[in-house]
A and B are shown apart, each in its own frame.
Chain A
Amino acid sequence: DAGITQSPRYKITETGRQVTLMCHQTWSHSYMFWYRQDLGHGLRLIYYSAAADITDKGEVPDGYVVSRSKTENFPLTLESATRSQTSVYFCASSTGGNQPQHFGDGTRLSIL
């Protein structure tokens, strides 16, 4: 099926470990985004990408790394996970910076 898929859906890891969340979209959308959703903070943008090999920081980028070597993939890596990064992570894509965004179903990440 076409769309945007995130993997894994659930992940438990320990502090200090590296973990990578995957995002894949089949629409060839140029823009992709990573958000985290926390109670009391709502959705906050971590990183975004306007095209392959072009990425930039959002509101809360510290502790995260992204890459975009291919248009369809936008992985998010936590290099050394901390408990404060326990959250639900959403990936989204759109055709342009001001166009409707399409979201994946999210990854629920717990860091012990």
Chain B
Amino acid sequence: KQEVTQIPAALSVPEGENLVLNCSFTDSAIYNLQWFRQDPGKGLTSLLLIQSSQREQTSGRLNASLDKSSGRSTLYIAASQPGDSATYLCAVPGSGGYQKVTFGTGTKLQVIP
């Protein structure tokens, strides 16, 4: 059974700092991996989806990397802003797709002005 771990559970950084969020998974036979952010009282917003054939995916100040062999993905946030404060989750679909998805429990990020 796929297990997805996100460490740390919480992170507090000063504004402007670059930071890295981690996502580890146990079964490397994945199709893709998706990063989400969740604001309090809201649903999840898809940030990046990185295919298993890709090493990196970028969107603005966000960069996601994927290393299937080591079972790791990282989300890099450049020049963090208070508006980046949220919980970040990664999700790994099973071999059949998101019908068998495993979510990480998330990293709660606070960016201090």
Contact = CB atoms under 8 A, between A and B. Distances in A.
Contacts of A33: 98
A40 to B, nearest CB: 8
A100 B49 contact: yes
Interface size classification for chain B: 20 to 34
Most buried by A among B49, B97, B101, B105: B101
Contacts of B45: 103
Q: Is the interface of A mostly helix, strand, loop or mixed?
A: strand
Interface in A40-57: 42-45, 48, 50, 56
Interface stretch (A12-20, A62-70, A72-80, A91-99): A91-99
A28 interface: no
A90 to B, nearest CB: 5
Binding site secondary structure of chain B: strand
A45 B101 contact: yes
Interface string B77-113: 0000000000001010100111111011110000000
A103 B43 contact: yes
Contacts of A92: 43-44
Given A56-B99, A97-B96, A98-B32, A42 B104 contact: yes
Contacts of A45: 98-101
Interface of B: 31-32, 34, 36, 41-46, 49, 89, 91, 93, 96-101, 103-106
24 contacts: A31-B98, A42-B103, A42-B105, A43-B44, A43-B89, A43-B103, A45-B100, A90-B43, A94-B98, A97-B93, A97-B97, A98-B32, A98-B93, A100-B34, A100-B49, A101-B44, A101-B46, A103-B36, A103-B44, A104-B43, A105-B42, A106-B41, A106-B42, A106-B43
